[in-house]
């Protein structure tokens, strides 16, 4: 019996990277999934592959920066499944690697829309159902960057810090409804997001990332997925308001890395 048998989960940004690993892991644990992304071809193909493997998965297009898309994602899942047990606010973008005073208004608003307002919307459309059924687990993907500084990432860190602080607030507010709200802060994880950053900013980044993590390597998406499965499961029934750091010790030990950006 899987750890998420009978549970219904919605995941944003699930066509690739960490969201993909969370979807694969949760499906393997028996959850019924509604996965979403803006990469529809990839998302549909992934959902199809999971269905072929015997899992109950539907793909729905959802740009998390669109209120209409987020409302449609949650409404469809809740209408079809009749309940909602897990909401994973995962989708985000990386705009950074340069000083904050060089960021344009447009870049700032885009980053906040995709990385922060999306979490507000994911929670806004998930909470009424969870409160009504008196159970639920919201998992917000934050970042080690919300804990420690890194040259060039002020706006990204600001959004992730806000995600963590909203997580704590909601945990307190909706604990009496048996709705748990937690976040996960990954360190550097091997995903397309980071492959793209290395392409843009240089190969030295990969070496710096390894040095930054006391465990001596960057992480795997599956290692973040394990944390999400735990927080979604009944095993975490008394766990709310936490930020679970899956970061190879990155935020435990300040390290001097001379050539980060
Ligand atoms: N990779 C890391 O090192 C790392 C570290 C800390 C935190 N995180 C966080 O983990 C989460 C996932 O990151 P990742 O590395 O897997 O990223 P990724 O870029 O590899 O994958 C993100 C997925 O989200 C989708 N996406 C992008 N914009 C979207 C939008 N507007 N609406 C819906 N979907 C959208 C992409 O198509 C992609 O499938 C993010 O919240 C990110 O901030 C990642």
**Sign of the torsion formed by the C-alpha atoms of 28, 82, 20 and 120:** negative
| Cβ count within 10 A of residue 194 | 17
Q: How many CA within 13 A on the CB side of residue 44?
A: 4
Supply the pLDDT for residue 260.
53
**Residue 129 and residue 83 in contact, taking contact as beta carbons nearer than 8 Å:** yes
DSSP-derived 3-state class of residue 211 = helix
Distance CA 95, CA 81 (A): 35
d(CA 214, ligand 1 centre) in Å = 24
Tens digits of per-residue pLDDT, 207-228? 888 989 999 999 999 999 999 9
Annotated active-site residue 256? The verdict is no
Q: Which atom belonging to ligand 1 lies closest to the Cα atom of 13?
A: 24
Low-confidence residues of the chain: pLDDT under 70: 255-261
86 CB less than 6 Å from ligand 1?
A: no
Supply the pLDDT for residue 132.
98
Supply the pLDDT for residue 202.
87
d(CA 176, ligand 1 centre) in Å = 31
Tens digits of per-residue pLDDT, 165-218? 999 999 999 999 999 999 999 999 999 999 998 998 888 889 888 989 999 999
Secondary-structure class of domain 8-246 per CATH: alpha beta
193 CB less than 6 Å from ligand 1?
A: yes
């Amino acid at each position: 019996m899987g750890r998420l048998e009978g549970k219904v989960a919605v995941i944003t940004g699930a066509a690739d990277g960490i969201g993909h690993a969370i979807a694969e892991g949760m499906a393997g644990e028996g959850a019924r999934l509604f996965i979403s992304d803006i990469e529809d071809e990839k998302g549909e193909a992934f959902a199809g592959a999971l269905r072929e493997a015997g899992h109950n998965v539907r793909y729905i297009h959802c740009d998390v920066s669109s209120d209409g898309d987020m409302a449609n994602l949650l409404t469809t899942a809740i209408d079809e499944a009749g309940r909602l047990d897990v909401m994973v606010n995962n989708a985000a973008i990386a705009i950074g690697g340069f000083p904050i005073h060089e960021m344009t208004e447009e870049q700032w608003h885009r980053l906040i829309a995709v990385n922060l307002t999306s979490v507000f919307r994911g929670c806004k459309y998930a909470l009424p159902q969870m409160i009504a059924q008196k159970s639920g687990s919201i998992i917000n993907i934050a970042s080690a960057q919300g804990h420690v500084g890194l040259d060039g990432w002020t706006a990204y860190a600001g959004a992730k810090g806000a995600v963590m602080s909203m997580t704590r607030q909601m945990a307190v507010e909706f604990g009496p409804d048996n709705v748990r709200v937690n976040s996960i802060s990954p360190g550097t994880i091997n995903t397309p997001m980071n492959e793209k950053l290395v392409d843009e900013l240089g190969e030295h980044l990969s070496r710096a990332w390894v040095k930054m993590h006391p465990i001596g390597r960057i992480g795997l998406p599956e290692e973040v997925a394990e944390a999400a499965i735990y927080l979604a499961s009944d095993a975490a029934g008394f766990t709310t308001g936490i930020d679970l750091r899956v970061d190879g010790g990155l935020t435990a030990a300040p390290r001097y890395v001379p050539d980060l950006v």
